[in-house]
Amino acid sequence: MPPKSDTPVLIVGAGPGGLTAAATLGRYGIDFLLVERRTELSSLPRATGVSTRTMELMRSFGIEDEVLAGGVEVEWTQWRCETLADVDAGQGAPTGFPTREQCSLISPAAPACVPQDHLEPVLLDHIRSLDVGRVELGTEMTGLEQQPDGVRVRLRDVEGGATRTVDARYLIAADGAHSRARHALGIEMHGPDNLLGAVSALFRAPLWELVGEHRYGIYIVTHPEAEAVLLPAGGGDRWLYGVTHEPGSRLASLGEEEMAMRIELAAGLPGLAPRIERIGGFTFAAKLADSYRERNAFLIGDAAHRATPRGGTGMNTAIHDGFDLGWKLAWVLRDWANDELLDSYERERRPVAQHNVRQSAQPPGSPLELGRALAADLGGRIAHAWVDGAGHQVSTLDLLGPGLTLFAGPECRQCEVPATVPVTARRLDMITARALGIDASGALLVRPDGAPADSFAAAAEASELIRAAA
């Protein structure tokens, strides 16, 4: 009989969504076990677009600077040009991410260009620094079954082959597009598959010297013999060159020599000699799981939804899933709320995934609506406004507590309220209060994700609103 152990939350998969869920639980002091079948985190850049809201979450974790240290400073514009040598003659188009100037008005953070293989280790280091929970790389899930009060999962050590059983009150399936957990739960996924094929090359070459001041997150190269997308993939001269193709096209089998020739043509610099590190292929899909929850098991990230790379929403949606489910599980496990709170996970996250998946499946060249994309990314959180802190200015978003936060107008008399959920009271000046839609004697009750829980005038019974919000 293999040994058995228990954990409040078992997370399967150490991608961005699973890591964010673990970081969120850890910050609430909730024990967890995070397992990942890979013995090391991925060394591939994968996604490079880190959205405004994702950077706000990294800021709330206290790791914003560490994340930015692995990226490059760019403007999030799609820049279309024949080659990078002709970048001055190019034209820009929106990406769905706001510009830095726009962000200065709406957020204390801004979207970043950071490869996933830098973001993931930063999150993992942060999780380990919390000294809560366990992370086991090289451990795979081989099966699961629902129990009356949780989930029983079979785990296997990838290298040694040893097996064991873990009983968890809750399971978070963050194990990717081909999720073994989703299959075991009997949840189907629907939507178009194989929309396009893609082949990409990770390479190094001194391309920043070519583009000069035109530093963008995406370059669409239109050279007839090298049509592709070029993406900065981290610090230094690390880049991605990606070609899309119809299924069955010869482009699917581009080799290193032909890929190097295409990169040279796309750069417009004869003799460039890019150093190719890896070539890989994948297919585009736009799919959504029929359900995000089966009793005490939940799906997040690619296990719940698959978007194409267009719009840069896949990784960010996964991260937001992990944070949303993480704080709600923490509230339930701390007895701050009952299990009904967990029903709001799918109710609130599915519409965002539906929007992002649908938008990502639009044909190339379709306009990206910045306003709608930004609304989906920010998730209805309160407005950002700068307020005076301890010797420096902080954002209203920086004032959010782990429970509920009560933002009160300058004349509000009710700033302490009884509740089973911890409440942090913040009194605002009139200008900031108005920015949050609060009058002088009013207040606004806000969840830890920044979403309003309720608002009330000074004469209202705050304790009733607290109970309703929990």
Q: Which of 323, 300, 21 is nearest to 176 (CA)?
A: 300
pLDDT of residue 239: 97
Tokens of 45: 């850049």
β-bridge pairing 443-446 and 452-456: antiparallel
Tokens 């081989």, residue located: 142
Q: Which of 2, 70, 14 is nearest to 300 (CA)?
A: 14
Strand, helix or coil at 452?
strand
Q: How far is CA 223 from CA 87, 121, 212, 254, 353, in A?
A: 12, 36, 20, 17, 34
pLDDT of residue 94: 87
Contact criterion met (CB below 8 Å) for 301 and 18: yes
Tokens 């969120």, residue located: 24
Q: How far is CA 69 from CA 14, 115, 128, 209, 274, in A?
A: 21, 11, 19, 20, 24
Contact criterion met (CB below 8 Å) for 42 and 143: no
Beta-carbon count within 10 A of 164 CB:
15
β-bridge pairing 297-299 and 293-294: antiparallel
Name the segment(s) of the chain with CATH classification 3.50.50.60: 4-71+114-190+286-378
pLDDT of residue 96: 87
Identify the bridge partners of residue 256 per DSSP, sorted by sequence position: none
Kindly compute the dihedral angle of the four CA atoms of residues 399, 405, 410, 414, in this order, to the nearest 10 degrees.
Answer: -150
Q: What's the CA gap between 100 and 109, in Å, rounded?
A: 9
Name the segment(s) of the chain with CATH classification 3.30.9.10: 73-112+196-283
β-bridge pairing 404-408 and 443-446: antiparallel
Provide the CB-side half-sphere exposure for 109 (13 A, CA): 26
pLDDT of residue 323: 98
Strand, helix or coil at 67?
helix
Q: Over the range 298-332, which residues count as b (16 or more CB within 10 Å of their CB) and which as e?
A: bbbbbbbbbbbbbbbbbbbbbbbbbbbbbbbbbbb
Per CATH, the number for 386-469 is: 3.40.30.120
Q: What is the pLDDT of residues 383-437, one digit of tens each?
A: 999 998 777 899 999 999 999 999 999 998 866 666 788 999 999 999 999 999 9
Per CATH, the number for 4-71+114-190+286-378 is: 3.50.50.60
pTM of structure = 0.94
Per CATH, the number for 73-112+196-283 is: 3.30.9.10
Residues with pLDDT less than 50, the chain: 1, 457-470
Q: What is the pLDDT of residues 193-236, one digit of tens each?
A: 888 899 999 999 999 999 999 999 999 999 999 999 999 999 88
What's the DSSP call for residue 346? H
Q: Which of 136, 129, 128, 184 is nearest to 33 (CA)?
A: 136
Name the segment(s) of the chain with CATH classification 3.40.30.120: 386-469
